[in-house]
C-alpha cells in the first residue's frame, strides 16, 4: 500500500471493508531522560508529515502530567480506517519511526481510542500541544452529561414505559441516555469546557 499525500487522489476499491467513520489512534513512547527536546522536535516533524496525507484531520500532542512521567502521547485523527492504514503503512512514517530510536526506549504502544475517552482528545486542524486533562475533570464532565440526559429521558419516557417490565424499561432508558450523551451532549460539553479541560493550547 502506498502513501497518498493530500495533493493526490486516494485509491478506491470495489468492495472496501474498512470503516468510513473517523478513527483516532494514540501512540505512546517512553523518552530517555534529558532527550525531551529531541522528542518534541521529532514529533512536530512526523506530525507535519502526517498532515500531508489524505484523510488526516489533525494531531494532538499530550504532555505528561508531570516531569516524573517519561511516557509521551501523540493522538492522530483520520477520516476513516482506510486513510489511517495508508499512513501507517507508508515509507514516510517508517522513516520517521526509525529517527525516534536514539532518544526513545522500547517499542511505542498503539491503541485505537473508542468510547467516552475519545471526547477527551478532541481533534483540531493542524498540530496542537495539550496537557492531558486530569481524571477528576473528565469525571466532572461525564457527570454533567449523565445527569441531564438521565432526567430528560426519564421525563420523556416515563408515561410510555410505565407498563413495561422494569428491566426492559431501564434498558431502553440506558440506550437512549448513552446515545444522547455520545452524539449530542458530550461533544457539546467538551467543546464548551475545552479551555477549562486543557488550558491554553500551544500550537
Give the ranges where the chain is alpha helix by DSSP (H).
36-50, 81-88, 91-99, 135-157, 166-180, 186-192, 194-198
| pTM confidence score | 0.53
User: Which sign, positive or negative, has the C-alpha torsion 31, 112, 116, 165?
Assistant: negative
- Phi/psi of residue 188, each to 5°? -65, -45
Give the ranges where 24-134 is alpha helix by DSSP (H).
36-50, 81-88, 91-99
Q: What is the full per-residue pLDDT of the chain (203 aa) written as tens digits?
A: 444 444 333 333 333 444 556 778 888 888 888 888 898 889 889 988 998 998 887 777 777 766 556 678 888 888 888 888 999 999 999 999 999 999 998 888 888 765 555 566 544 444 444 556 777 888 888 888 889 999 999 999 989 998 999 999 999 999 899 888 877 888 788 778 877 876 654 43
pLDDT of residue 114: 56
pLDDT of residue 157: 92
pLDDT of residue 124: 47
pLDDT of residue 101: 92
Amino acid at each position: 500500500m502506498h502513501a497518498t499525500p493530500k495533493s493526490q487522489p486516494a485509491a478506491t476499491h470495489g468492495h472496501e471493508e474498512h470503516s468510513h467513520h473517523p478513527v483516532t489512534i494514540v501512540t505512546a513512547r517512553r523518552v530517555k531522560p534529558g532527550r525531551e527536546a529531541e522528542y518534541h522536535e521529532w514529533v512536530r516533524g512526523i506530525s507535519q508529515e502526517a498532515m500531508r496525507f489524505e484523510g488526516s484531520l489533525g494531531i494532538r500532542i499530550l504532555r505528561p502530567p508531570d516531569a516524573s512521567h517519561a511516557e509521551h502521547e501523540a493522538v492522530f485523527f483520520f477520516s476513516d480506517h482506510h486513510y489511517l492504514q495508508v499512513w501507517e503503512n507508508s515509507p514516510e512514517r517508517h522513516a520517521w519511526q526509525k529517527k525516534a530510536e536514539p532518544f526513545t526506549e522500547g517499542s511505542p504502544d498503539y491503541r485505537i481510542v473508542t468510547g467516552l475517552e475519545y471526547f477527551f482528545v478532541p481533534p483540531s486542524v493542524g498540530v496542537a500541544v495539550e496537557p492531558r486533562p486530569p481524571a477528576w475533570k473528565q469525571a466532572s464532565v461525564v457527570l454533567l452529561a449523565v445527569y441531564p440526559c438521565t432526567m430528560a429521558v426519564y421525563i420523556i419516557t416515563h408515561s410510555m414505559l410505565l407498563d413495561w417490565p422494569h428491566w426492559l424499561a431501564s434498558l431502553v432508558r440506558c440506550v437512549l441516555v448513552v446515545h444522547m450523551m455520545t452524539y449530542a451532549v458530550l461533544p457539546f460539553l467538551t467543546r464548551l469546557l475545552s479551555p477549562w479541560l486543557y488550558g491554553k493550547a500551544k500550537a
